[in-house]
Amino acid sequence: MGFSFHGHKRDVDAEKHLQRLHKTTPLIESPLVGADNESLVFSQRHEANSVELFFDLFFVANLATFTAYHSITDVDYLLGYIGFFGILWCCWFQITLHDVRFARDSLYERVCKTIQFIVFVGLALVGSQFNPASEKGKGNNTNFRILCYTLVISRGLLAIQYLIVLYYTWKARYSKLYVPLILMFAIYAVSMAAFAGMTPAFRTKEDHAYRLVYLVWYVVMALEAIGVVTISCFWRMLSFKKTHLMERMSLLTIIVIGEGAIGVTKTVSRIMGKQGLEVEGCFLIMCIIVILVLLWALYFDNFPHGHYGTIRQQIWSLLHFPFQLSIIGLVEGSQQIALARYVVRTTQKVTATLEQHCQTEHLDGQKLQDNLMYLLNYFQLDTKLETWDFFQRAQEAIWKIGNETGICSPENAAKYTLIDNEQNSTWPLDFQNVEYLISNGMYTGLGMKLPVDELELYSPLEVALKGWRLVYMYYWGSFCLLLMCLIGFLFLIRRHKTDLFDYTSILSRGLFLCVGAAMLALMANNDKLYAAIQSPALLPICVVLLFLILVVDKLSSLWCNSQLKKSGKPYALEVEEHEHGHGHGHSPHGSVHETGALYGHAPHDPITGLEDMRKAARWSAHPDTMPLTAISTEYNNSPHQSYAMEPLVSPPFTSPDPVQPQSFLGHPPAGYAPVSTGRKLGA
């Protein structure tokens, strides 16, 4: 007996006496099940399924791992970051282009996804030491060879997947798809052969004679992407018109922004993990968070809804590569700039403390030693293995200072100048060592990955100083690239009459693009450049610029809406349509049954069989292969028939004999089936 509410049993109790039909996973399912026979495109589902989201996790795991192993401190690391992201993004993009059109849940598809997971794990292995721009990169050849094997597996699997699609289209006689699918297979087969052919160049670990062969990766992937998109532009049946490609690109954008959120948590622990909350540290962290929010708003507030052009949609998708790369550069640069400001401020604090104890308070002996040890312990350099040596050496220098008498007497202290300048400083060597060791130990303790070959020539802070110039360059370069991509998006997704919003949105982005270029121009003057890096103003400037763009967008859209409503003219709603803009008479995919002539079953209902044959005819390059039967001509007396020109047809004087419908079971050699009228003529 079930529970009841107001005298009625629950709906779930009505099925208690029934046995359930369990959900099963087919061995393989035809991609033609998701074909839209009205629009002649493939549309498997209206939103990403759980397998696709699961696959995206491997992308973000790769990106997070690579970011953790690589701090962008020199040009080689920057080029390696861009190069690895390009390889990772291209692999994800090619897999996604297949999945949104053809992938259906089955054991076969799950096996393919498992192989793709393995591929992305292989990319993570390569990414830990990926530095192709460095001639002395450790294990470069081994890494390159592993990457070639990984890419061979990836492209080989894609070639097999498109062969499976080709088989089902051949089985259903969708002859218009033969050529494009064969071309797709050829593209991935050639890519696989190219990647396999690169492996002999990386056989020897120490031989770097063929190091630049790695550039073939990027040439092949660029041609691959152009080829795939071009095919879908020429053969519109393979376009992404009713797919959820836009949703997949938006989800990847969220993942890339989310990688920035992961970086924020690491940055806040580096800046305030030991000493607790600081006003300026909190302000800089909040600036990074606001930048993430504004990036999200600028993208999704102008996200396209509905179809806005087949070719434009594919250009929009490809434009996500520089767009997402610029997001990574801007967010990563924001974190590096926050850390640079923290290091500069902390170094100035160390210098000011030494000057206060010696030149202002004139401490001496044990009291001076205790105060300097308090300063050293404040930074907790003895808690990490990589900073233990700095702690030991600084402690020895402090002991020497404590054992010297009159080192900070008024007479001696008056002569000390420029403690932070090794060449022109007049401070005692032990004081210089304390300042040097604490500052460099503090920066090393932040966990920055510094190139070992540069540490042999320069101190960690000198490496950082050179790296900050690069950080400044790619930070504002990413800002400019971001605005250019946003302008491109606005042009691509526009599908209505131009209004004030279109002009102001592009004008504001173009204006602040010029501001970003002006910030890049500061690099021509080193003094102004390093003054800008040392100030806390860089992050707030970026926040203000992005915020003003958003304000201009909102104000102009409100004004346009107000004027349009006052005019009384008809207007279109630029809002999210039902089911992500795919609800164009689509039947739910869950109710699709594999019956009818397309799947080799003789139709029990003549009308149903006719519909299936008509669907096949639409996808076929030879539409006359549909048999000429009583069913195909609809010249029968079925009560379900409909005549498009019925009002113009006069009924015959005598009714013909009833036509017996015949089921079409195959194509005769001539392409036509005999028409049976039930009469014997001429006998």
Q: Which residues contact 638 (CB under 8 A, 6 or more apart)?
A: 606, 607, 661
| DSSP letter for each residue of 191-250 | HHHHHHHHGGGG-SSS--TTGGGGHHHHHHHHHHHHHHHHHHHHSGGGS-TTSSHHHHHH
**Confidence grade of residue 181 (pLDDT, cut at 50, 70, 90):** very high
Domain-located, residue 457: yes
Domain-located, residue 282: no
pLDDT surpasses 90 at 498: no
Q: Give me the pLDDT at residue 619, please.
A: 59
Q: Cβ distance 136 to 205 under 8 Å?
A: no
Q: Cβ distance 561 to 496 under 8 Å?
A: no
pLDDT, average across residues 108-129: 91
Q: Give me the pLDDT at residue 127, please.
A: 82
Are β-strands 35-36 and 41-42 bridged in parallel, bridged antiparallel, or unpaired?
Answer: antiparallel
Residues 81 and 223 in one domain: yes
Check residues 307 and 680 and name the one with the higher pLDDT.
Answer: 307
Check residues 424 and 542 and name the one with the higher pLDDT.
Answer: 542
User: Is the backbone of residue 355 left (phi > 0), alpha (psi -120 to 50) or beta?
Assistant: alpha
Domain-located, residue 663: no
pLDDT surpasses 70 at 595: no
Residues 42 and 189 in one domain: yes
Residues 97 and 203 in one domain: yes
Domain-located, residue 218: yes
pLDDT surpasses 60 at 19: yes
Q: Give me the pLDDT at residue 68, please.
A: 78
Which of 108-122, 224-238, 355-369 has maximum average pLDDT? 108-122
The per-residue pLDDT for range 324-356, each reduced to its tens digit, is 999 999 999 999 999 989 988 888 888 899 888
Q: Give me the pLDDT at residue 78, please.
A: 87
Residue at which a domain ends, from 462, 482, 505? 462
- DSSP one-letter code for 480: H
Distance between CA 318 and CA 45 in Å, rounded? 22
Which of 61-65, 95-99, 209-213 has maximum average pLDDT? 95-99
Domain-located, residue 616: no
Residues 48 and 177 in one domain: yes
Q: Give me the pLDDT at residue 473, please.
A: 93
Domain-located, residue 128: yes
Q: Which stretches of 382-428 are DSSP H helices?
A: 385-403, 410-413
**Confidence grade of residue 586 (pLDDT, cut at 50, 70, 90):** very low
- 3-state SS, residue 5: strand
The per-residue pLDDT for range 384-441, each reduced to its tens digit, is 888 899 999 999 999 988 888 888 888 888 888 876 666 677 888 888 888 889 988 8
Residues 77 and 205 in one domain: yes
> Of 407, 449, 450, whose CA–CA distance to 430 is shortest?
407
Distance between CA 383 and CA 390 in Å, rounded? 11
- DSSP one-letter code for 36: E
Domain-located, residue 77: yes
pLDDT, average across residues 302-329: 87
**Confidence grade of residue 364 (pLDDT, cut at 50, 70, 90):** confident
pLDDT, average across residues 523-547: 91
% of the chain exceeding 90 in pLDDT? 31
Q: Which residues contact 68 (CB under 8 A, 6 or more apart)?
A: none
Beta-bridged to residue 42, according to DSSP, are 35
Identify the domain containing residue 369 by its residue range: 341-462
Distance between CA 472 and CA 74 in Å, rounded? 12
For 337-389, the three-class secondary structure string (H helix, E strand, C coil) is HHHHHHHHHHHHHHHHHHHHHHHHCCCCHHHHHHHHHHHHHHCCHHHCHHHHH
Tokens found for residue 94: 């090619």
- 3-state SS, residue 8: strand
Q: Give me the pLDDT at residue 4, please.
A: 53
**Confidence grade of residue 612 (pLDDT, cut at 50, 70, 90):** low
Q: Write down the mean pLDDT value for the chain.
A: 79
> Of 64, 74, 79, whose CA–CA distance to 451 is shortest?
74
Distance between CA 534 and CA 250 in Å, rounded? 36
DSSP strands (E only) in 34-104: 35-36, 41-42
Residue at which a domain ends, from 462, 489, 520? 462
Q: Give me the pLDDT at residue 596, please.
A: 39
Q: Cβ distance 669 to 609 under 8 Å?
A: no
**Cβ neighbours around 642 below 10 Å, total:** 8
Residues 217 and 356 in one domain: no
pLDDT surpasses 60 at 584: no
Residues 47 and 168 in one domain: yes
> Of 106, 131, 99, whose CA–CA distance to 30 is shortest?
106
pLDDT surpasses 80 at 583: no
Residue at which a domain ends, from 462, 490, 518? 462
Residues 345 and 199 in one domain: no
For residue 115, the surrounding DSSP H or E stretch is: helix 107-127
pLDDT, average across residues 635-648: 40
Residues 79 and 228 in one domain: yes
Q: Cβ distance 110 to 161 under 8 Å?
A: no
pLDDT surpasses 70 at 288: yes
For residue 9, the surrounding DSSP H or E stretch is: strand 8-9
pLDDT, average across residues 312-333: 92
Q: Which residues contact 405 (CB under 8 A, 6 or more apart)?
A: 364, 365
Which of 40-44, 192-196, 598-602, 672-676 has maximum average pLDDT? 192-196
Q: What is the pTM of this model?
A: 0.79
Residues 235 and 350 in one domain: no
**Cβ neighbours around 89 below 10 Å, total:** 20
Residues 229 and 356 in one domain: no
For 599-643, the three-class secondary structure string (H helix, E strand, C coil) is HCCCCCCHHHHHHHHHHHHHHCCCHHHCCCCCCCCCCCCCCCCCC
Q: Give me the pLDDT at residue 444, please.
A: 85
pLDDT, average across residues 150-170: 93
> Of 227, 314, 307, 312, whose CA–CA distance to 39 is shortest?
307
Q: CA torsion 592→594→598→602, rounded to 10°?
A: -120
Domain-located, residue 532: no
How many domains in the chain?
2
Q: Which residues contact 640 (CB under 8 A, 6 or more apart)?
A: 607
Residues 66 and 176 in one domain: yes
Distance between CA 176 and CA 521 in Å, rounded? 54
pLDDT, average across residues 97-121: 92
pLDDT surpasses 60 at 569: yes
% of the chain exceeding 70 in pLDDT? 78
pLDDT, average across residues 452-462: 76
